[in-house]
Structure 1
Amino acid sequence: MEGSLSGFFAQFEATVGIITQYLATGVEGVSGIIVGIAVIEAVWSSLKLFFVQHEKPESLKEAIRLRLGRWLSVVLEFLLAADILRTAVAPNWSDIGKLAAIAGIRTALNYFLGQEVREEARSQQQAADASITRPIRREQG
């Protein structure tokens, strides 16, 4: 009885491990597709801006950059999730160390990318607010 139970758990663990590996690979694949689409969108928007709307304000260039940055931030989160999935089933100390290093690097990249995106969005909002309130201040002036 005990032997069949331990065999069942060993088989169950192996099955969960295989499913988890497939999930992690799927998440990495989807991440690659998202990056590809985001880059194509950014390139397309940049080309339109460069050739068709070249006299538009600089803020449009920043908008393209911010949109790409937001997608890259999402992808970094997905890739971190894939790394966690890969390490979730029966990790050894080497796997845990690699995950810690990768998680640290990706989290730092995501943090600084997020800071830059937030700062640029805040600056765009302040510029928009200023353009709205400037005529009101002149009338009051």
Structure 2
Amino acid sequence: MATKKTFSDAELEAMQDAKVERKKGKKADGLGDLLAKIAELNPSDKAIAETIHRLVTENAPSLAAKTWYGMPAWANADGKVVCFLTPAGKFDSRYASFGFNDAARLDDGTVWPTAFALTKLTKADEDMLAALIRKAAG
């Protein structure tokens, strides 16, 4: 009788990436690690990741680049991840996603979006995300 796997290979890889990131701790080269991960991506994910990195850098310079579960992420001064990119290729999804964690200052009433599906980015998309990134960083 075959047993069903609890985690996919991609999920297990992400957990191993997180373990490596924790071991590096303060010795991690956040920007270098993030740029290395972006360089490994397929062309579509790479284009999106480069654009998101530019948007975060331009609109929230207080956020530090890092990797989080082996994915591009940006954290506040306390080291808490504010926003992150999940490349489509990471989990064989049909779209990448850009998300915000609870450290993001996006609260707006009792319901607000925390993640967006991305297949490509238009200028209007970039403008909308830039505004959210600025707000999230506070």
Say which structure is richer in strand: 2
Common fold: TM-score over 0.5? no
Scaled by the length of structure 2, the TM-score of the pair is 0.26
Higher RCO (CA 8 Å, separation ≥ 6 residues): 1
Q: Which has the higher helix share?
A: 1
